[in-house]
Amino acid sequence: MKKVIALSSLLALSALGMACGGEVANNTAANKPANTTANAMANTANTMANTANAMANEANKMATNAAKPGNSTTTTTTTTTNTTKTNTNK
């Protein structure tokens, strides 16, 4: 998940870098599609990061609850033995 977040961030920064600067004059109308795409990518990366954090928080809650003594489970195993009797009256 960290790799996905890092890659998304890199792509967002790359898009921002392409949209800003360069030798050509900064034309706002011409750069608007690139800025829109960069913003969308940045928003997606942020959403992914927030989701990863939420998942980590839930995993921590589950681990904490599982470690509590009241949540331990006791398993009772019942074994049934089947015996086969052979007919000796021949």
* Higher per-residue pLDDT: 59 or 87: 59
Residues 37, 15 contacting (CB under 8 angstroms): yes
Percentage above 70 pLDDT, the chain? 61
Whole-prediction pTM value?
Answer: 0.43
In the chain, domain spans? 2-68
- pLDDT exceeds 60 at position 86: yes
CA–centroid distance for 12 within its chain: 19
Instruction: Report how far apart, in Å, the C-alpha atoms of 17 and of each of 10, 22, 74, 75, 88 are.
Output: 10, 9, 59, 59, 93
Q: Supply the pLDDT for residue 78.
A: 63
Closest CA to 1 of 55, 52, 58, 54: 52
Q: Is the pLDDT of residue 51 over 90?
A: yes
- Whether residue 67 has pLDDT greater than 70: yes
| 46-55: average pLDDT | 93
Q: pLDDT tens-digit profile of 16-48?
A: 776 665 666 666 777 788 888 889 999 999 999
Asked whether the beta carbons of 87 and 40 are under 8 A apart, the reply is: no
